C-alpha cells in the first residue's frame, strides 16, 4: 500500500495532475499495485485559502507519504503578494522541508520529437541527457540581505556557498545515475572565478576516484551553455549546483523540444517529489488543452524511484510513446496531419495503451 500525495498547485496544475492520477490508477490495476491518493493545497491557491503558500498540513502530509506528485505554482494574480508569501515559496519550502537535495531532469529526444526542437534535427536527434541539479544548497538558501547602506550606497547581497558534504552527496548520486547509463559525468562550475566552484571541483574529483567505472570531466558553466546547443548528444550525465542547474536544465529542456513533455524528480532522503518542468500557465488554465505528458512522465519517475516499480514505470513510458506514435497531440504540439486531443483525452489514450 503506497500513499501518494497530490499537490495540484495553481493554474493548469489541477488538470495535469488529474490526468496523471488517471494514468497511475490504470497502471496500478494492471501491475497490481495498491495506491492511495490524497490531495493537498500549495501555491497561490493555498495562499488564497489559508494565507500561506505552504500550509503545515501540506508539509506533514507530504512527509508522511511515499511520494509527492506536484503540478505547478504561480500566476500574475499573486504578483503583488509579499515576496515571502509568493507561490514560488511553496516549492522552495517543500524542497527544504523534505530535504529534496537532488533534482533529476532527463532530456531525451526521440526521432519522432525532433521537429519540436528549435535545434536542427541532425544536432538534436538522439540526445539523451540527465541533469542532476543540487536543490537545497547554494545561493538559493544562503544568507541574504535585501538592503544595506555601505559608504552611503545601498546594496543587496546573497551568499553562494557549498560544503564538501553537500557536493559529495550530489556528485555521488550523479555517478550512480551514470553507472546505469553511459558512465560519463560532466561536472559544471565556474572554478576560474568562484571559490565555491573550486571546492566543488576538488570534491567532485575526490568522489569520482571511488567510481572507477565513471569518467568525470569538468566544464565551465558558460561553455556548458554553449555545448548544450552545439553538441547535446555528447552529454550523458551533467551534475551542477542549484543556480547553474536552474539555468542549464531549462536551456536543455527547451533545446530538447516541447517543455510540456519533460518530467523531473526531486530526490529526498525520505520522500521524493515529482513534477513537470513547465509552469502553471494561467493563460490556458481551465481550457482543458494543457499537455499532461510532463506530469504523466513525472508519475512514471515516481513509480521508478519512490516505489521501486520499474515495470510499472516503463509501462507508462511506453504507453506515452505509443500514443505519440499514433499521432495524438495536445494543442501545444499540434500540426497538420496529427489528431488533436484535450488534456483529458490524452490521459485516456495513454491509460488505454497501458
Ligand X SMILES: CC(C)[C@H](C(=O)O)[C@@H](O)C(=O)O
And the C-alpha cell for 101? 537535495
3-class state of residue 236 by DSSP: coil
Q: Which residue is nearest to ligand X (CB)?
A: 88
Separation CA 256–CA 184 (nearest Å) = 19
Phi, psi of 323 (to 5 degrees): -65, -35
3-state secondary structure of 87: coil
Determine which residue in the list 145, 205, 270, 314 makes contact with a second copy, applying CB under 8 A: 145
- 226 near a second copy (CB under 8 A): yes
- Which of the listed partners (a second copy, ligand X, none) does 165 bind, with a CB threshold of 5 to 8 Å by partner kind? a second copy
Q: Does 161 contact a second copy by CB under 8 A?
A: yes
Q: Which 25-84 residues touch a second copy, going by CB under 8 A?
A: 83
Stretch of residues binding a second copy (CB under 8 A), selected from 225-233, 267-275, 292-300, 338-346: 225-233
Q: Minimum Å distance from CB 50 to a second copy?
A: 21
**Number of residues binding to a second copy, judged by CB under 8 A:** 55
Q: What is the C-alpha separation between 203 and 135, in angstroms, rounded?
A: 17
Q: Is 195 in the site for a second copy (CB under 8 A)?
A: yes
Q: Are 299 and 316 in contact (CB under 8 A)?
A: yes
Residue 311 annotated as lining a ligand binding site = no
What element of type H or E holds 54?
none
Nearer to a second copy, 223 or 308 (CB): 223
- H or E element at residue 266: strand 263-267
Tell me if 332 contacts a second copy by CB under 8 A: no
Which helix (H) or strand (E) covers residue 17, if one does?
helix 13-31
Residue 217 DSSP SS3: strand
Q: Is 246 in the site for a second copy (CB under 8 A)?
A: yes
> Applying CB under 8 A, which of residues 251, 318, 321, 345 lies at the interface with a second copy?
251
Binding-site residues for NAD(+), in ranges, read 279-291
Amino acid at each position: 500500500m503506497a500513499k501518494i500525495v497530490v499537490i495540484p498547485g495553481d493554474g493548469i496544475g489541477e488538470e495535469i495532475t488529474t490526468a496523471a492520477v488517471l494514468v497511475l490508477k490504470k497502471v496500478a490495476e494492471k501491475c497490481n499495485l495498491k495506491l492511495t491518493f490524497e490531495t493537498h493545497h500549495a501555491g497561490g491557491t493555498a495562499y488564497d485559502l489559508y494565507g500561506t503558500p505552504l500550509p503545515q498540513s501540506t508539509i506533514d502530509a507530504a512527509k508522511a507519504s511515499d511520494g509527492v506528485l506536484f503540478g505547478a505554482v504561480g500566476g500574475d494574480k499573486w504578483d503583488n503578494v509579499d515576496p515571502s508569501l509568493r507561490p514560488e515559496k511553496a516549492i522552495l519550502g517543500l524542497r527544504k522541508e523534505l530535504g529534496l537535495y537532488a533534482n533529476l531532469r532527463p532530456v531525451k529526444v526521440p526521432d519522432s520529437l525532433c521537429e519540436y526542437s528549435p535545434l536542427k534535427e541532425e544536432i538534436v536527434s538522439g540526445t539523451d541527457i540527465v541533469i542532476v541539479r543540487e536543490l537545497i544548497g547554494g545561493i538559493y538558501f544562503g544568507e541574504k540581505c535585501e538592503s544595506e547602506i555601505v559608504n552611503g550606497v545601498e546594496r543587496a547581497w546573497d551568499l553562494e556557498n557549498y560544503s564538501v558534504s553537500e557536493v559529495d552527496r550530489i556528485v555521488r548520486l550523479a555517478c550512480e545515475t551514470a553507472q546505469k547509463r553511459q558512465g560519463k559525468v560532466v561536472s559544471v562550475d565556474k572554478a576560474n572565478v568562484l571559490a565555491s566552484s573550486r571546492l566543488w571541483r576538488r570534491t567532485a574529483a575526490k568522489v569520482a576516484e571511488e567510481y572507477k567505472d565513471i569518467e568525470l570531466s569538468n566544464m565551465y558553466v558558460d561553455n556548458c551553455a554553449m555545448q548544450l546547443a552545439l553538441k547535446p548528444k555528447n552529454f550523458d550525465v551533467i551534475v551542477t549546483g542549484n543556480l547553474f542547474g536552474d539555468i542549464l536544465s531549462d536551456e536543455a529542456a527547451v533545446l530538447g523540444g516541447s517543455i510540456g513533455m519533460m518530467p523531473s524528480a526531486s530526490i529526498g532522503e525520505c520522500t521524493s517529489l515529482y513534477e513537470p518542468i513547465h509552469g502553471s500557465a494561467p493563460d490556458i488554465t481551465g481550457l482543458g488543452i494543457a499537455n499532461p505528458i510532463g506530469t504523466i512522465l513525472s508519475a512514471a519517475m515516481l513509480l521508478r524511484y519512490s516505489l521501486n516499480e520499474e515495470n510499472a514505470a516503463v509501462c507508462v513510458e511506453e504507453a506515452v510513446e505509443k500514443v505519440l506514435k499514433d499521432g495524438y497531440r495536445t494543442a501545444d504540439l499540434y500540426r497538420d496531419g496529427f489528431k488533436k486531443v484535450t488534456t483529458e483525452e490524452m490521459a485516456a489514450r495513454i491509460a488505454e495503451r497501458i
